[in-house]
Chains A and B, each alone.
Chain A
Amino acid sequence: MTQSLREDEWAAWMRLAIAGDTQAYHRFLQAVVPHLRAMARRRCEQFGAPVSEAEDVVQEVLLAIHLKRGTWDPARPIGPWLSIIVRNKLIDTMRRRGRRIDVPIEDVMETLEAVEQSSFTDRMDAEQMLTRLKDPQRDIVRSISLEGASIRDTASRLKMTEVAVRVALHRALKSLAAAYRSGMREDQ
């Protein structure tokens, strides 16, 4: 698939996602991840960070894409927006790992074109991430991510309204991003 066609597809999914289509959003995120992984891995190699950290970087970039998706204007192409979000977050994560780097934007664009498949083990232990969250956020995250439950099931099990579950989930994701930013690794 050519880049512009693929970007059109991503943009279409993202438009649906913004309107609340979870499946379209799921497809979008899964389509983006291999590109992020290839980029993160290359950065880690380039700057002498252990490649095993790449998956943490991928997750941090995913959280940034998620929390900042409201800044994308659906009338504009998604590629340039995505490239800048990814580049800023890559620079940020590498800097926090003690490496000052400069990522040319052309580089990001290029890598967005090339898909690289690879398997990774994740360093961040699920339970450890969850200890960062307060209840009911922790229960909600565990229920949806680890047990694969829907919002509705989670709500009825925790005797909450669906709206309350959605709000708590959104806060939990913000807390996760903040936990990454404040450097989880340092205090392990």
Chain B
Amino acid sequence: MKTNDLISLLAQDAPVRQPFGPLMVKAVLSGLVLSLTLMLVSIGPRDDFASAIETLRVAAKILTSTIFAACACALAVRIGRPAVPMRPRALLLLLPLLLLCLSVGLELAVVPRDTWAKSLVGQHAAFCVMAIPLLSLPPLVVLFLALRQGAPENPTLAGAVAGLAAAGIAACIYALHCPDDSPLFVATWYVTASAIVTAAGALAGRRFLRW
């Protein structure tokens, strides 16, 4: 085909029906709804939710994971768009990290040393490390489907960021169910689960996000 013929062909397909930026926002929101629905129909929120939310540890757990989700999602809606800067939003992720460190510090200060190990292990560590990746699957799939329309400069990194956002969504939804309230538990198992999802996203990105 002559290049001029190709140009005529492309020109006839001029309009953009679905700009990529809004598509990613939609993907994040639908991922959130899907993951929340999955939690509600399967494990459900904790039975004592109304009273538990009033305690500082539970409020801190939910707040920290929600801020983590929000920051990761704010970063995720920027991937796949060449020449759009990521760094300022990547730095935002320090905020939930800082909050987590702060709550761990407080916990260590007020809780006797001999109960630290018990709080860290909690009651449902294995369940948590399984539930967060499972809850992150729907948002991860939706984000990847949207990202296939994008032009990520680095497919592995894009996959990792999508994984991080999916993990954030799953973490803040799992926090509504999770009966283990110690910041030591959150810092260990939530972070482990998020790392697993992020790594999986990176591997999948390498494979599926090339264009």
A25 sits at the interface (CB 8 A):
yes
A88 sits at the interface (CB 8 A):
yes
Q: Which interface residue of A62, A66, A81, A145 has the most chain B CB atoms within 10 A?
A: A145
Q: Which of A73, A120, A124, A148 contacts B1 (CB 8 A)?
A: A124
Chain A residues with Cβ below 8 Å from B210 are: 92
A9 sits at the interface (CB 8 A):
no
Produce 1/0 per residue, B15-37, CB < 8 A to A.
11011110100000000000000
Chain B 50-109 residues near chain A, CB threshold 8 A: 80-84
A126 sits at the interface (CB 8 A):
yes
Q: Are B151 and A68 in contact (CB under 8 A)?
A: yes
Report Cα–Cα, A120/B23, bound state, in Å.
39
Report Cα–Cα, A65/B83, bound state, in Å.
14
Q: Which of B1, B14, B82, B151 contacts A122 (CB 8 A)?
A: B1
Chain A residues with Cβ below 8 Å from B150 are: 68, 71
Q: Are A62 and B8 in contact (CB under 8 A)?
A: no
When C-beta atoms are compared, the residue in chain B nearest to A84 turns out to be: B82
Q: Are A144 and B8 in contact (CB under 8 A)?
A: yes
B115 sits at the interface (CB 8 A):
no
Q: Which of B10, B81, B153 contacts A66 (CB 8 A)?
A: B10
Chain B interface size, under 10 / 10 to 19 / 20 to 34 / 35 or more: 20 to 34
User: What's the nearest-Cβ distance from chain A to residue B108, in Å?
Assistant: 45
A6 sits at the interface (CB 8 A):
no
Report Cα–Cα, A20/B15, bound state, in Å.
4
Knowing A58-B3, A80-B83 are in contact, say whether A70-B16 is a contact too (CB < 8 A): yes
Report the count of interface residues on A (CB-CB < 8 A): 52
Which label, helix, strand, loop or mixed, suits the secondary structure of the A interface? helix
Q: Which interface residue of B2, B9, B10 has the most chain A CB atoms within 10 A?
A: B10
Knowing A20-B14, A68-B151, A81-B83 are in contact, say whether A173-B20 is a contact too (CB < 8 A): no
Knowing A68-B211, A122-B3 are in contact, say whether A173-B13 is a contact too (CB < 8 A): yes
Considering the complex of A and B, which 4 residue pairs feature the smallest CB-CB distances, nearest first? A84-B82, A80-B83, A20-B15, A145-B5
Q: Show the binding face of B for A, using Cβ within 8 Å.
A: 1-3, 5-16, 18-21, 23, 80-84, 149-151, 153, 210-211
A and B contact pairs by CB, cutoff 8 A, 23 listed: A17-B15, A18-B16, A20-B15, A23-B11, A24-B14, A68-B150, A68-B211, A70-B18, A70-B23, A71-B150, A71-B151, A76-B83, A84-B153, A88-B151, A88-B153, A122-B3, A145-B9, A146-B5, A148-B8, A151-B12, A169-B12, A169-B13, A173-B13
Q: Show the binding face of A for B, using Cβ within 8 Å.
A: 17-26, 29-30, 33, 55, 58-59, 62-64, 66-73, 76, 80-81, 83-85, 88, 92, 120, 122, 124-126, 129, 141, 144-146, 148, 150-151, 166, 169-170, 173
